[in-house]
Structure 1
């Protein structure tokens, strides 16, 4: 009977848009996803990419243009004034806070008289990571990646060792290029063992290149024997001269199991798993119908070659993890991908655009009102013999006959109602997005009754930020773990060997803080011995005080106390002095 299916997934909040699900195929409109002729795009990724394109259109005030492309001609008159971008930017600013800091727990104890080896290592790794973050412009890359995560729901970091710069390079990728291969029986929140980074390259008649698809694959698999690059653009196994295969240095073959194992610098036991990298391109004309991304024909592939001559055909990276970190905007709820911050308010954004469009039309009739004249003689065009249309301009005088009148259509009342409607919808959208008026900058500070009332109004924003930071805590800890291990694998100078040091990213305060009250609280608590000096300094950091290094600040504080402690105590007066003075 042609009934539509009820679809409930991570992007079902967009089902109200006809462009998201077409009636004949059940897939999104062709304008929302790559229209590759063989259909290399996985079918389960079509809705995700369509959602990304819709969200990007709202962010750049192009939702009306997208509506026209998908068949809605009325979308060309849509007025968009940046409400979606304002919500995204505000959420991003509160998420990141005033500053971000790399912290290794225990590093603040390295300045003590007898620090433990763990404290010294934590302080060393913390400084190395901070220096690396400064060279790699981590705050700027975080801004770019986290804005994608807030807007689209997902962000992707890619790590790679650069032998020329002798450090790990960090890149941010569009989540539309990210295609994980998820096991049907695995938890969607688990780390995948195979990830494709793929995109379509259009044809270029000027250069004579055809349309093609590029796929970069990172895959975990058993360690194999040594391979070498061949002239045919492939890698082949290398014989050892005794009828077997050559092993890479440090690898061990267990004859009873047939497994090849190696011990990584960060591990305390051997592992039989490594990560392979494959980078290749396929011309779309060489693909047959039904050959999707995970099963493209290798015999038709044009394999890429690295700058050092290594063919990227299952190249052993000599690491036991995928150097990709997928950041989600929301806590995993049975889905591998996150949810956009605009998901709860998409229909409110449409209502805002419609109200703004109606207000623009009403303001046109209010600023240039419609005038009706009766009893006036219109001037006749001598060429056509028809009356010329009357033009109303400043200083225009009309001579009316007996009984003549002029009527003006006043639409100012309707315009006022439309403006009130816009404010009503915007306020409701802010409530649903958990962005109070004070965070959007639309509240009058003079009308806030008290600081306690202001703090209560920020409650929804606090819960939103805590939830978003919780979703990212493990991912950034994973990112810093990968950075350490890639430096160890690349034998970078100065990086300690052995187990990976736990490191986390601390976001700054997202709301205005009473720094004076925090300072007074820290002074009282540390002076009374309720809090340690390390905890007090950390509280001052979170309150926004310009303390770059907690350990160095503690050293300066203790060094300033030393002279006072070395002074001889003042002797109390003699026991009878008070009585003698009184007498």
Structure 2
């Protein structure tokens, strides 16, 4: 690549590849579909990078090299190192499990001890019951939508390609939100003109891909595009049909011919805009909504002037949803785009795309594959050595009279003359050197990816002197996982907020302000549990941590605690020592029974008192003894 063609961007680490040598037509020989006319020129390089990384993941880097002119590409040995690197990184990122947590939910069922002034105990903190209800709803929804499976699909793509995409859609038949993942190669965000920071949320998002021809069904090559777009709220629409039989949406007209508003929408008397109050923003009318369009175009109808962002509307064939709604700017009744883009790394300032975990070590993976290929060749000559014969009597082909080819096989015997000799080429030294080079590159790979030799499983456990030394060795891995989880933290908060709001829009969850919910990752190293458990025990015994905080820390560390409030209740039912101290401190048996989760005790029956008669002692008065006579003193 000449200096004047040097390109520095989010994918500069791929410039050394011949398939990416031309920035204007990347992968033109290996991936010709990337350079079709409908693909925006600004996205072609990104799509080529995704395909190249997929080739490495599937052990097809040699085939890719052969397509781009490497005559020895098909001889390349690929032993699954890129796939192992992706899966190992993914395993540490996800941890043991993923849990949806709504802050404050652990306080919903917990009651404090009753006070000495006769009150009935501490009520839950404000919002605790709502947080617990939301947490239960989100976990139920996640179970139905196969949440761990969807996360695995999306995050593996993010680790490999650098980006992943989730989409949310309300399904009226199931009365819940559907969660789906898309390949980032189908994802095309679009920002308004003049937008300076592409890390901001785009106002328009497209998903597009080609559909191959199907002669049996009479279908030609097509392009399908799904578009989410934010725009001002308009009049109500309904499915319709054009004169040529195409399904579209058309405005609903009233008796006088004027447009009709959707039920619940109002017209602002001054601004003249249509406003709508969403269930998650009571008292705050909005004039923005999200429109969904799903259409197809024939490739033969698209010219050089048409790309993804400028497809001709008059050539579109709009799809129809299962409930009969035509997907032509269908109002989704929400003021946000239900799409979440998840980057693998924290993007640079002004960037939108993440970086693949293979990006920085792709050349090292090439070197490792080349060394594996050389090692295979050396092992072939070591297992079946090259033999030189001198003075040997070789067998003759009786038909042709020519010597037969000589092969080194078990049981082969050659007759040598008095001066004959046989020499074998020994390549075991080269093979040992190649194996040492492989070990060196694996160590370099573990260091450069920050997975460490311990994280990749190549470290001998017997060589670690102590657990503290292992913890120090895993330090780079801890920082890597922390950075990757930080890049995703806000994205999953946003996704769970969208899930809550779409259920509110579907009128199956109660209206109200959205509560924050987050995804808690499991522990990624075996030392985390031991450390957290020691900290929790020491902090709780010393009175630094509350029981709620202690149990939540154990849950986030990966301990099998499904419900924090339920776990606290079970702990208190067996905390007899604390109950005894509570009784000594307050002298209130009802507070002790409430702390242990026991029902209130039955009242003690009282015995009616006998009325006291005049001149008689009270029934509860102590008995008196008759007066004793004292002897008189002597005269």
Which category of TM-score, normalised to the shorter sequence, fits these structures? Answer: over 0.9
The residue number in structure 2 matching 1:139 is: 148
Structure 2 CA distance, aligned partners of 1:172 and 1:434? 28
The residue number in structure 2 matching 1:209 is: 219
Post-superposition CA distance 1:430-457 (Å, at most 9, x none): 1000011111111111110122211111
Shift in CA distance, 497/117, structure 1 to aligned 2, threshold 3 Å = farther
Among candidates 541, 545, 556, match of residue 559 of structure 2 = 545
- Secondary structure of the residue that 2:512 maps to in structure 1? coil
The residue number in structure 1 matching 2:409 is: 393
Structure 2 CA distance, aligned partners of 1:124 and 1:398? 87
1:523 pairs with 2:521: no
**Contact preservation (8 Å) 1:32, 1:49:** no
Among candidates 225, 234, 237, match of residue 224 of structure 1 = 234
1:163-182 correspondence to structure 2 within 5 Å: 163-182=172-191
Among candidates 67, 71, 74, match of residue 72 of structure 2 = 74
**Contact preservation (8 Å) 2:231, 2:289:** yes
Query: How big is the shift at 1:243?
Result: 4.2
1:15 pairs with 2:12: no
- Secondary structure of the residue that 2:188 maps to in structure 1? strand
**Contact preservation (8 Å) 1:36, 1:284:** no
Structure 2 CA distance, aligned partners of 1:503 and 1:426? 40
- Secondary structure of the residue that 2:404 maps to in structure 1? coil
Larger Cα Rg: Structure 1 or Structure 2? 2
**Contact preservation (8 Å) 1:227, 1:236:** yes
Structure 1 CA distance, aligned partners of 2:403 and 2:9? 62
Query: How big is the shift at 1:238?
Result: 1.5
The residue number in structure 2 matching 1:577 is: none
- Secondary structure of the residue that 2:421 maps to in structure 1? strand
Structure 2 CA distance, aligned partners of 1:367 and 1:308? 68
The residue number in structure 2 matching 1:578 is: none
Shift in CA distance, 518/408, structure 1 to aligned 2, threshold 3 Å = same
Query: TM-score, normalization: structure 2?
Result: 0.86
Post-superposition CA distance 1:43-94 (Å, at most 9, x none): 1111111111111111111110111222222110000111111111111111
The residue number in structure 1 matching 2:207 is: 197
Structure 2 CA distance, aligned partners of 1:524 and 1:385? 91
Query: TM-score, normalization: structure 1?
Result: 0.94
Structure 1: stretches of 5+ with no match in the other structure: 571-583
Shift in CA distance, 12/393, structure 1 to aligned 2, threshold 3 Å = same
The residue number in structure 2 matching 1:118 is: 127
Query: How big is the shift at 1:507?
Result: 0.4
Query: How big is the shift at 1:392?
Result: 1.8
Post-superposition CA distance 1:220-251 (Å, at most 9, x none): 00111011110231111121223421000011
Query: How big is the shift at 1:203?
Result: 1.5
1:417 pairs with 2:433: yes
**Contact preservation (8 Å) 1:375, 1:403:** yes
1:271-350 correspondence to structure 2 within 5 Å: 271-333=286-348, 334-350=350-366
Root mean square deviation, CA, Å: 1.9
Query: How big is the shift at 1:253?
Result: 1.1
**Contact preservation (8 Å) 2:228, 2:291:** yes
Stretch moving more, 514-523 or 527-536: 514-523
Structure 2 CA distance, aligned partners of 1:180 and 1:194? 6
- Secondary structure of the residue that 2:109 maps to in structure 1? coil
**Contact preservation (8 Å) 1:179, 1:197:** yes
Post-superposition CA distance 1:160-194 (Å, at most 9, x none): 11111111111111111100012452312111110
1:248 pairs with 2:225: no
Q: Which runs of 4+ in 1 moved over 6 A?
A: none
Structure 2 CA distance, aligned partners of 1:514 and 1:324? 33
The residue number in structure 2 matching 1:188 is: 198
The residue number in structure 2 matching 1:60 is: 58
Aligned length: 566
Post-superposition CA distance 1:336-357 (Å, at most 9, x none): 1110011110000000000000
**Contact preservation (8 Å) 1:33, 1:49:** no
